[in-house]
Structure 1
Amino acid sequence: MFVLVEMKDTVRIPPWLFHINFNDAVVETLNKKFANKVVHNVGLCVTLWDIIKLDESFIFPGDGASHTVVHFHFVVFRPFVDEILIGKIKSCCKESVQVTMGFFDDITIPAESLQHPSRFVDKEQLWAWEYQMEEEKHDLYMDIGEEVRFRVSDEIFVDTTPSSPENAAGEEIADTEVKKAPYTIVGTISEPGLGLLSWWNTG
């Protein structure tokens, strides 16, 4: 779920931070830049782990800050495909179930990846697993806030770097696109033992 990733970045330390320990200033700057942010094809950065190496620092003309290339390890949230995780149901719609882990909300379980057979109940705005027990069917609802165990089936990275507001002809493009999450985890619960924890409790 959490991995250590080796990264490199040029750290700019402004003059008003020169009075504090240089390493402390680097740590503060790196955490401010990366913590709780998604790096494309890397994952959700959590916190700086350690500094591997500091290259020589430079001060450029017209800029009183120091610039240093820093090699470091960062703790990153990036579950591997097929990893089993536990989260809580955040919301439901006809297309999917949204799951949160508290610190990360962009987890989706598509309708086709739910336990079979499942149906969306419009009145409740919830999904229900139609569980067959002997000759009766029972609707096991996926209530908001319930803990759910799921398997990671895919991950999706989207480059959210701002693009030019003009097209090739120089015409302005209306900002009508729906903002996409930079990092989405896709899960499945269509296997025995997966789904709401309460479904499988025997006690």
Structure 2
Amino acid sequence: MFVLVELKDTVRILPSSFKCKLNDVIADELNKKLANKVYKDVGLCIALYDITKIEESYIFPGDGASHTKVTFRFIVFRPWMEEILIGKIRSCSPEGVHVTLGFFEDIIIPPHKLQHPSRFDQMEQAWVWIYKTADGETHDLFMDQGEEIRFRVVKEIFKETPLPTAPNASRDVDGKPEAKNKAPYVLHGSIDESGLGLLTWWQNT
């Protein structure tokens, strides 16, 4: 679920921070710039792990700040395909079940990836698994907001960002992330197999 990604960036340090340790200032600046940001084919940046290389600092004419090129590793949220995660139902809509992990909310389980057969209840605004027992009886199992749900990651969608996408290449993080009103990183989940879905469904089986 979490991986280490090597990145490169040029950190601008204001004169007011010259009195502080360079490593500490660089770490603070990188966390301010990257934490909770999403970049294409990288994932959701969580926190700085370590700084592996600091190059010489430069001061350009007309700018009293220093500019330092650094190479570093960042902790990134990016589940691998087929990984099983546990989250909570944030809401339901005709488009599917929307799931949150607490720190990441752009997860959807589309209708064709729910247990079969399922239907959307407009009145309750919830998806319902029509569960049929061995003796032929049916029970409506509602997927209510706040319920814990176990799902399999089956797809990821990245929006365009300025980062390069070459495999195994160090990435320069200069550039602006996607606009705040868009979801730059979306996960699709699946619960259409035994053991997946609401945790309460399987507690007594």
> 1:160·1:180 contact (CA, 8 Å) conserved in 2?
no
1:63 is displaced (CA, Å) by: 0.5
Partner AA of 2:97 in structure 1: V
- What does 1:58-77 correspond to in 2, within 5 Å? 58-77=58-77
Q: Distance in 1 between matches of 2:189 and 2:43?
A: 16
1:39 is displaced (CA, Å) by: 1.5
Q: Distance in 1 between matches of 2:124 and 2:65?
A: 57
Equivalent in the alignment of 1:117:
117
TM-score by length of 1: 0.89
User: In the alignment, is residue 4 of structure 1 matched against residue 13 of structure 2?
Assistant: no
Equivalent in the alignment of 1:194:
196
Matched position secondary structure for 2:3? strand
Equivalent in the alignment of 2:175:
none
Q: 1:82-108: CA deviations, max 9, x gaps?
A: 000000000000111100000000001
Identical counterparts, % of pairs:
61
User: In the alignment, is residue 158 of structure 1 matched against residue 159 of structure 2?
Assistant: yes
- What does 1:127-138 correspond to in 2, within 5 Å? 127-133=127-133, 134-138=135-139
Equivalent in the alignment of 2:104:
104
Partner AA of 1:200 in structure 2: W
1:160 is displaced (CA, Å) by: 5.8
Equivalent in the alignment of 1:13:
13
1:16 is displaced (CA, Å) by: 1.0
Partner AA of 2:136 in structure 1: E
Structure 1 residues 4, 160: CA separation in 2 closer, same or farther (over 3 Å shift)? closer
| Alignment equivalent of 2:183, drawn from 173, 177, 181 | 181
1:180 is displaced (CA, Å) by: 2.9
Matched position secondary structure for 1:33? helix
Q: Distance in 2 between matches of 1:199 and 1:131?
A: 10
Structure 2 unaligned spans of 5+: 163-180
Matched position secondary structure for 1:11? strand
Partner AA of 2:92 in structure 1: C
Q: Distance in 1 between matches of 2:182 and 2:19?
A: 41
> 1:106·1:184 contact (CA, 8 Å) conserved in 2?
yes
Q: Distance in 1 between matches of 2:67 and 2:95?
A: 48
> 1:89·1:145 contact (CA, 8 Å) conserved in 2?
yes
Matched position secondary structure for 2:192? coil
Partner AA of 1:197 in structure 2: L
Matched position secondary structure for 1:61? coil
Aligned length: 186
Equivalent in the alignment of 1:144:
145
Partner AA of 2:90 in structure 1: K
> 2:97·2:109 contact (CA, 8 Å) conserved in 1?
yes
Q: Distance in 1 between matches of 2:161 and 2:21?
A: 35
The root-mean-square deviation of aligned C-alpha atoms, in Å, is 1.1
Q: Distance in 1 between matches of 2:41 and 2:184?
A: 9
Matched position secondary structure for 2:48? strand
> 2:159·2:185 contact (CA, 8 Å) conserved in 1?
yes
Equivalent in the alignment of 1:30:
30
Structure 1 residues 160, 180: CA separation in 2 closer, same or farther (over 3 Å shift)? farther
